[in-house]
Structure 1
Amino acid sequence: MNESTNSHIPLLSTITEFYRAFGIGTPQSDQFSVMRIEDQPMDKRRLMPLFRSNFYRLILFTSPGVEFMDSGRKLSSSGNSMYFAYPGKLESWQVIAPVVHGYAICFTAEFAQLDPQAGDFATRFPFFRFDTDNLSHFSAPESEPLETTAELMLAEIKNPTAERFDILKHLLHIYLLQSRRLFKECEDCKSAEDQRAALVHARFLSAIDNQLERIARGLSDEQPTVASIAAELNLHPSYLNDLLKKLTGSTASSIIQRKIILEAKSYLQNTELQVAEVAYQLGFTSANYFSRYFKQHAGSTPNSFRRA
Structure 2
Amino acid sequence: MDNKIVVYKSLFDTYNSMGLPVGTIDPFAAFTIHNLKDLHPELPFSSAGYRPNYFSFVFVKDADGQYTTDELTFASVPYTVYFTNPGHYKSFEWRRLEEVYLITFTEEYLKENVHPDIFKEFPFLLAETVLPRVLEPETFAEFEHLYQQIYKEYHTDSTYKKKIIANLFVVLLLKIKEYFWKDYNPIYEGNRSSQIVKSFRRHLEEHFQDLVNGKVDKPFRVQDYADLQSLHPSYLNNVIKSKTGKAVSVWISEKTITEAKSLLQHSTLSIKEIAYLLGFTESNHFSNYFKKHTSVSPAEYRKQGENA
Q: Secondary structure at the match of 1:99?
A: strand
Give the AA of the match of 1:153: I
- Over the matched positions of the two proteins, sequence identity in percent amounts to 15
Give the AA of the match of 2:81: M
Q: Which blocks of at least 5 consecutive residues in structure 1 are unaligned?
A: 189-195, 212-308
Q: In the superposition, relative to structure 1, how do residues 206 and 37 fare at CA in structure 2: closer, same or farther (>3 Å)?
A: farther
State whether structure 2 residue 99 is matched by structure 1 residue 101: yes
Q: Is the 8 A contact 1:112 1:173 kept in 2?
A: no
Q: Compare relative contact order (CA 8 Å, sep 6+) and give the higher one, 1 or 2.
A: 1
Structure-2 separation of matches of 1:10 and 1:19: 13
Q: In the superposition, relative to structure 1, how do residues 36 and 119 fare at CA in structure 2: closer, same or farther (>3 Å)?
A: closer
Structure 1 residue 105 displacement after superposition: 0.6
Aligned to 2:84: 85
Structure-2 separation of matches of 1:90 and 1:153: 27
Give the aligned length: 198
Match of 2:119 among 115, 118, 121: 121
Structure-2 separation of matches of 1:45 and 1:10: 23
Structure-1 separation of matches of 2:85 and 2:130: 12
Match of 1:15 among 11, 21, 27: 11
Q: Which blocks of at least 5 consecutive residues in structure 2 are unaligned?
A: 203-308
Structure 1 residue 34 displacement after superposition: 0.8
Greater Cα shift, 10-19 or 147-156: 10-19
Q: Is the 8 A contact 1:142 1:182 kept in 2?
A: no
Q: Secondary structure at the match of 1:147?
A: helix
Q: Is the 8 A contact 1:54 1:88 kept in 2?
A: yes
1:76-225 correspondence to structure 2 within 5 Å:
76-95=75-94, 97-113=95-111, 121=119, 124-126=122-124, 128-130=126-128, 132-184=129-181, 199-200=190-191
Aligned to 2:223: none
TM-score when normalising by structure 2: 0.53
Structure-2 separation of matches of 1:100 and 1:205: 37
Aligned to 1:34: 33
Give the AA of the match of 1:124: F
Q: Secondary structure at the match of 1:182?
A: helix
- What's the CA shift string for 1:245-298, capped at 9, x where partnerless? xxxxxxxxxxxxxxxxxxxxxxxxxxxxxxxxxxxxxxxxxxxxxxxxxxxxxx
Structure-2 separation of matches of 1:129 and 1:53: 15
Q: Secondary structure at the match of 2:50?
A: strand
Q: In the superposition, relative to structure 1, how do residues 164 and 180 fare at CA in structure 2: closer, same or farther (>3 Å)?
A: same
Structure-2 separation of matches of 1:67 and 1:205: 26
Aligned to 1:222: none
Q: Is the 8 A contact 2:111 2:118 kept in 1?
A: no
Structure 1 residue 204 displacement after superposition: 7.4
Larger Rg: 2
Give the AA of the match of 1:71: D
TM-score when normalising by structure 1: 0.53
Structure 1 residue 44 displacement after superposition: 6.9
Q: In the superposition, relative to structure 1, how do residues 147 and 84 fare at CA in structure 2: closer, same or farther (>3 Å)?
A: same
Structure 1 residue 64 displacement after superposition: 4.2
Structure-1 separation of matches of 2:154 and 2:164: 9
Q: Secondary structure at the match of 1:63?
A: strand
